[in-house]
Structure 1
Amino acid sequence: MAVTLGDVARHAGVSLATASRALNGSARSVTEELSAKVRASADALGYLPNAPAQALARSSGATIGVLLHDVADPYFGGIARGIGDAAARAGLLSLVTSTDGDPRRELEAIRMLHAHRARAIILAGSAYNDVSVIQQLDEALTAYQEQGGRVAAITDHGPLYDTVQVDNKAGAASLTHSMAQLGHDHFAVITGPERMRVAEDRLDGVLDALSENGLTLPEGMLQRTEFTREGGRAAMARILDVARESGTPLPTAVLALSDICAAGVLAELRDRGISVPDEISVAGFDDIPLATDLAPALSTVRLPLARMGESAVRLALREGGGREGRADTASARAEVVLRDSTAAPRTD
């Protein structure tokens, strides 16, 4: 079996990108110590660099590929704007592809960007939880990196990639604690599908915080849906129906773990004649521009969406190999913002 660049990288203890730069003549600098280490591993394993890899590593492609789930979602729109601005400042074009959260479309897009010699690929959508899906995407991205491409991700997509770390779990926990401090002790939660790691991270934060406050979610008060306005509205309808059919009190606080879902929640409550926040408090997550335009203005967890996109571009284009050739990281702080959609529960 032929020795691959990935074999050399593992033997040398460096990233694929660093191994590629050391052997394929990339213009991006690699320290002499790392270069010598990679060359020694290549010699020991009998690796032979190929001409196409060298050509791509030396090329100066003018495109950054951006993969996200839904270009119509303001969350992704904010990130894409930051990516586009940072790419333009670097004299590059950002090419945005919306995958609708379908890993098959994401895989196809990665292969097409590889074939067209994109300078870098930024993974702006949530990572997947399915092991077989992760393996297929990693294989395609590894092949791209072996020929000199760069990959950066927003939220954790694994140790192979430079990452803008977003602490979704901590943000969701902080929001839950804030609501508990207002006096809420009967919660409902609307989150995304299990296949999305971001949805699971946010849900874990909520559940941990509820446990720390001695609270649990009653039967039917946890609903999963797509992170869309329609999904949020349907999930809120199910929560209300469960409460009515079981004869249990309505939740005093609903945490919709994306703002676009929360917009649907507010619409459903309005149409059912339920006052927010007098009867039910509602909070979202992301702080998209729409959050302040809703009536009432939406409490949420603020993420610096544009800065997250800009940070991903900086990671993808940075010179050198990061910390001794390992994948590098940047961080994005989550901040709870309480507005008119939340208040202390009524005591009457």
Structure 2
Amino acid sequence: MAVTLADVARRAGVSLATASRVLNGSARAVSDEMRARVTAAARELHYVPNAHAQALARAATQTVGVIVHDVSDPYFAEILRGIQRSAADAGRLMIVCNTFRDPQRELEYVHLLQKQRVEAIILAGSGLDDRAYCRSMTERLDSFASMGGRVAVIGRHNIAADAVVPDNVGGARALAHYLLDLGHRSFGIIDGPALLTTSRDRRSGFVQALQAGGITLPPDAIIPGDFTRDGGAQAAIRLLERFPSITAIFALNDVMAIGALAALRERGITVPDQMSIVGFDDIPIAADVTPALTTMRVPMSQLGSEALALALSAEDTLRTIHLPTEMIVRQSTAPPSAT
């Protein structure tokens, strides 16, 4: 079988991107030590460079591809704003791909962006806890890296790439402790899409904190949601039908929390007198709804700018940047009513 660039990278102990820079003629700088290891490995394995791959590597455009789950979601709009500002400063053009939360479409976009010879790809949507998807995505990204491309991800992904990760677990844990300190003891959760790592991290952080406080949440007090306003409204109604006595609801993102606020208002349930609601992200409108939403602030714009910096970096080792979250207390929370 023909020796591949991945074989050379493995023998040299470097990333595919580094091996590609050395052997495919990329203009990016590589240390003398790295260059010597790659060329020695190529010589030992009798590697013959792929002329087509070399041409693509040299012809890479100053363009960055960004793949998001839903461009209409304010969370992704803020991330894109951060990437756009940094891209303009770096003299890069940005291409935005919207997957509509379809994993197969996400895989197809990686292939299409590679064909467009983009310089880097940023996966801005949450990772998926799905082995088949992760295997397919790893293969696509390895192919992209073998031609000199760079990859960065936002959130926890089960793939090897530079990453910027917000503290979803710690933020959800802090929200639970805050509600417990207010005196709440009966809770409901409006969950996110099941396979998203963001959903799992925020849910688990909240549940762990409740357990530490001596509260066991019934499984059916966790209602599946889809990170949309209507999904949040429907989930809130289902929670009330199952557990009329709950006093606090945690929605895994602000958009669903705002939908829950609307559903409660239509049912004549006042917030926060009869029900406290908390969200996550602190999207711009969270401060303007009535009542203003208590939430956990994620530095969304910074997530985008940090991800672009990683994607454009010439660093050879994989890096993960952890960004803290910040609790923002507003008018949607209060101690539970005595009645």
TM-score by length of 2: 0.96
Distance in 2 (CA, whole Å) between partners of 1:174 and 1:68 is: 27
Q: Shift in Å at residue 171 of structure 1? A: 1.1
Q: Shift in Å at residue 332 of structure 1? A: 1.8
Q: Shift in Å at residue 97 of structure 1? A: 0.9
Aligned partners of 1:152 and 1:161 also within 8 Å: yes
Q: Secondary structure at the match of 2:175?
A: helix
User: Equivalences for 1:56-95 in 2 at 5 Å?
Assistant: 56-95=56-95
Distance in 1 (CA, whole Å) between partners of 2:158 and 2:25 is: 26
Does 2:299 match 1:304?
Answer: yes
Aligned partners of 1:177 and 1:209 also within 8 Å: yes
Q: Shift in Å at residue 331 of structure 1? A: 2.5
| Map of 1:107 onto structure 2 | 107
Distance in 1 (CA, whole Å) between partners of 2:57 and 2:322 is: 28
1:112-165 CA distances to partner (integer Å, 9 max, x unpaired)?
110110111110011111110111111111111101111111012245211112
Q: Secondary structure at the match of 2:71?
A: coil
Q: Shift in Å at residue 12 of structure 1? A: 2.3
Q: Shift in Å at residue 52 of structure 1? A: 2.4
Once structures 1 and 2 are overlaid, which stretch shifts more, 5-14 or 105-114? Answer: 5-14
Q: Shift in Å at residue 62 of structure 1? A: 2.4
| Map of 1:207 onto structure 2 | 207
User: Equivalences for 1:1-348 in 2 at 5 Å?
Assistant: 1-243=1-243, 249-319=244-314, 321=315, 325-348=316-339
Aligned partners of 2:129 and 2:158 also within 8 Å: no
Q: Shift in Å at residue 185 of structure 1? A: 1.2
Unaligned runs of 5+ in 1: 244-248
Aligned partners of 2:66 and 2:97 also within 8 Å: yes
Relative distance call for 1:347 and 1:129 in structure 2 (3 A) is same
Aligned partners of 1:8 and 1:42 also within 8 Å: yes
Distance in 2 (CA, whole Å) between partners of 1:27 and 1:49 is: 17
Aligned residues: 339
Q: Shift in Å at residue 274 of structure 1? A: 0.5
1:82-121 CA distances to partner (integer Å, 9 max, x unpaired)?
1111111111111111101101111111111101101111
Distance in 1 (CA, whole Å) between partners of 2:148 and 2:47 is: 16
Once structures 1 and 2 are overlaid, which stretch shifts more, 31-40 or 6-15? Answer: 6-15
Aligned partners of 1:67 and 1:123 also within 8 Å: yes
Once structures 1 and 2 are overlaid, which stretch shifts more, 47-56 or 268-277? Answer: 47-56
Q: Secondary structure at the match of 1:220?
A: helix
| Map of 1:246 onto structure 2 | none
Q: Shift in Å at residue 58 of structure 1? A: 2.6
Unaligned runs of 5+ in 2: none
Q: Counterpart of 2:107 in structure 1: which amino acid?
A: L
Aligned partners of 2:157 and 2:197 also within 8 Å: no
Q: Shift in Å at residue 184 of structure 1? A: 1.2
Aligned partners of 1:191 and 1:225 also within 8 Å: yes
What is the root-mean-square deviation in Å for CA atoms of aligned residues? Answer: 1.4
Aligned partners of 1:315 and 1:329 also within 8 Å: no
Distance in 2 (CA, whole Å) between partners of 1:330 and 1:112 is: 28
Distance in 1 (CA, whole Å) between partners of 2:110 and 2:60 is: 18
